[in-house]
């Protein structure tokens, strides 16, 4: 089993739609979780951290479910500029910094 | 803040040649990471350093790969000899810890390596 697994998609959605996807992780001791965004041929950039209580940043909502060991990302009112690959990132270590990336979920928003 | 700086941006070399990738982390960051990204395998952690000391190199694929961090502002990833399957984008990233929490990574622009 991979340490961090994501549905690769692609998710093709019209502008204004809501899209959501999950990421599962294998290490129950993982403490830190993030969503990164990567545009084609660019470096990954932090989208948002994921907190235990769930958090929202504008149109983006992240949730953590420790019991089932997954995190989720929901994008509301999607824009063309949201088209990208979204990478789930998990710190596999409980006492150090060892970030593992999922393979990414591709989202394409069409006009 | 200049961000994480990697060089070269592109490298094309022939099989068997030595390749050296360079990285300058953000000033004040105490962690430095080397990742490799391919279509087939996604982003793979190769090695990471804390305060210039290698902490985990279990992701380094084989002995042909080596990484050093002689000081807080410079790191290299060397492949010798290079092989076509090493073709990938190599990212360097840095971050700093503080107050028991872990901060997100800041990535460089990457080095796109092609080995023919």
What tens digit of pLDDT does each residue of B14-27 get?
999 999 999 999 99
Mutate to test the interface with B, among A5, A42, A99 (most CBs of B within 10 A): A99
Q: Distance between CA B86 and CA B73 in Å, rounded?
A: 26
Q: pLDDT above 90 covers what percent of chain A?
A: 75
Contacts of A47 in chain B (CB under 8 A): none
The whole-angstrom distance between B67's CA and the closest CA on chain A is 17
Extract the runs of DSSP E, i.e. beta strands, from B39-80: 42-50, 53-56, 65-71, 74-79
**Residue A51 binned pLDDT confidence (cut-offs 50, 70, 90):** confident
Residue B111 CB-density burial (10 A; 0-12 exposed, 13-18 middle, 19+ buried): buried
Strands in B19-24's sheet, in edge-to-edge order, are: B5-7, B19-24, B74-79, B65-71
**Average pLDDT of span A4-27:** 94
**Average pLDDT of span B91-107:** 81
**Residue A95 binned pLDDT confidence (cut-offs 50, 70, 90):** confident
**Residue A91 binned pLDDT confidence (cut-offs 50, 70, 90):** confident
**Average pLDDT of span A48-54:** 89
> Least CB-CB distance to A43: which of B50, B104, B109?
B109
> Least CB-CB distance to A49: which of B91, B104, B107?
B104
Query: How many CB pairs below 8 A link A and B?
Result: 44
Question: A25-34, A88-97, B21-30, B54-63: which has the minimum mean pLDDT?
Answer: A88-97
Question: What separation, in Å, do the N-terminal and C-terminal C-alpha atoms of chain B show?
Answer: 36
Q: Is residue A47 within 8 angstroms of chain B, CB to CB?
A: no
Contacts of B56 in chain A (CB under 8 A): 96, 98
Is 90 exceeded by the pLDDT of residue B38? Answer: yes
Question: A27-31, A78-82, B12-16, B93-97: which has the minimum mean pLDDT?
Answer: A27-31
Read off the tokens for B11: 């490298």
What count of other Cβ atoms lies within 10 Å of the Cβ of residue B62? 8
> Least CB-CB distance to A99: which of B55, B105, B109?
B105
């Amino acid at each position: 089993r991979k340490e961090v697994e994501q549905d690769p998609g692609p998710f093709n959605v019209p502008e204004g739609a809501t899209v959501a996807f999950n990421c599962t992780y294998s290490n129950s001791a993982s403490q830190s979780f993030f969503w990164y965004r990567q545009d084609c041929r660019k470096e990954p950039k932090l989208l948002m951290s994921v907190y235990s209580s769930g958090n929202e940043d504008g149109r983006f909502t992240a949730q953590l479910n420790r019991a089932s060991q997954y995190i989720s990302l929901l994008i509301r009112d999607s824009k063309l500029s949201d088209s990208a690959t979204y990478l789930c990132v998990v710190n596999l270590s409980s006492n150090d910094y060892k970030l593992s990336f999922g393979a990414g979920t591709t989202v394409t928003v069409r006009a | 803040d200049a961000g994480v700086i990697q060089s070269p941006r592109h490298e094309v070399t022939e099989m068997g040649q030595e390749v050296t990738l360079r990285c300058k982390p953000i000033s004040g960051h105490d962690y430095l990471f080397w990742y490799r990204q391919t279509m087939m395998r996604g982003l793979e952690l190769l090695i990471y350093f804390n305060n210039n000391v290698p902490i985990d190199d279990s992701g380094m694929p084989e002995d042909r790969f080596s990484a050093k961090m002689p000081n807080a502002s410079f790191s290299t990833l060397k492949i010798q000899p290079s092989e076509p399957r090493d073709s990938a984008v190599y990212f360097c990233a840095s971050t700093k810890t503080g107050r028991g929490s872990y901060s997100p990574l800041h990535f460089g622009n990457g080095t796109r390596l092609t080995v023919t």
